[in-house]
Amino acid sequence: MEEGIVADQDGKVVVITGASSGIGRSTARLLAADGWRIAAVGRSAERLEKLQSELGEGVLTIAVDVAGTDAAKQIVDTTIEQFGQIDAVFANAGVYLDGEVAETDAEAIRKTIEVNVVAPLGLVQAALPHMLTRGSGDIILTSSIAGHQAIYSEPVYSASKHAVKGFTHALRQQIKGSGVRVAEIAPGVVLTDLWGYEEGDPRAKERLDVATGIRPEDVAEAVGFMLTRPRHVTIRDLVILPSAQDI
């Protein structure tokens, strides 16, 4: 197990979607090392179980399509049933879509919006009553640099990530003073499966060496930083880029 960044997080519960790969998996590892209990969500039961056996006790796996009608309720109910509480939601699962809009399949657009927008908003909505009743908690959504500036090659993806950022900002205002913090993390290029970089792919090092990509661990550390600020501090938006990203 990896070494954590802070040692006072024992027993807290975080729901992480997209925990079977990339940013979500790295964040699960980092937070587990800090004593968090993890509800790890993704479609691949096999990869979630692998993570569970790596991290040991305190990891609950929920293999579900986050875009399914009842998925949000299932995730929240199962987590509370198993762990009794939710301290943080990291709504991170997402898919990528680029290309000329005129040539893009309508079904691919619908699916992207469902997974990248409808699902995270629905998960937050399902977890909120519990968090508001407890008067504490953290909600972090993964947007993207494409949620901060529209990128010509990826209009649909940019739209989906702008929606996540808009939701974050408005919800933060709506529940200010409740004790529940709301934030988004906006990475540039992260060398994950999203770009065809499986864990351990030696090609990733070449990109790191020229700083055109960052590691999922870099993003996980930033999430850990956001979660561990004193309660009177909210890092509302954290943009994290490879130093040489051309953007």
Strands 88-91 and 137-142: parallel
* Spatial separation of the C-alpha atoms in residues 131 and 80, rounded to whole Å: 11
> Which position among 9, 21, 61, 112 is part of the footprint of ligand NDP (CB under 6 A)?
21
DSSP for residue 143? -
> Which position among 67, 97, 139, 182 is part of the footprint of ligand NDP (CB under 6 A)?
67
- Residue 105 CB, nearest approach to ligand NDP (Å): 17
* Spatial separation of the C-alpha atoms in residues 210 and 206, rounded to whole Å: 7
Of 96, 152, 157, 197, which residue is the catalytic one? 157
- Residue 194 CB, nearest approach to ligand NDP (Å): 4
> Which position among 180, 190, 222, 227 is part of the footprint of ligand NDP (CB under 6 A)?
190
Q: Within 13 Å, how many C-alpha atoms sit on residue 9's CB side? A: 25
> Which position among 92, 112, 158, 168 is part of the footprint of ligand NDP (CB under 6 A)?
92
> Which position among 27, 61, 79, 144 is part of the footprint of ligand NDP (CB under 6 A)?
144
**Pick 5 or 238: Cβ nearer ligand NDP:** 238
Active site residue 152: no
Does residue 201 touch ligand NDP according to CB under 6 A?
A: no
Q: Within 13 Å, how many C-alpha atoms sit on residue 220's CB side? A: 27
Candidates 31-39, 76-84, 99-107, 192-200: pick the segment binding ligand NDP (CB under 6 A): 192-200
Residues 76/15, Cβ–Cβ less than 8 Å: yes
Which sign does the torsion angle of CA 131, 134, 135, 136 carry? negative
> What part of residues 36-55 is at the interface with ligand NDP (CB under 6 A)?
42-44, 47
Question: Comparing C-alpha atoms, which of 40, 36, 44, 45 is closest to residue 2?
Answer: 36
Residue 179 region, left (φ>0) first, then alpha (ψ -120 to 50), else beta? left
Does residue 158 touch ligand NDP according to CB under 6 A?
A: no
**Pick 20 or 52: Cβ nearer ligand NDP:** 20
| Active site (catalytic) residues | 157
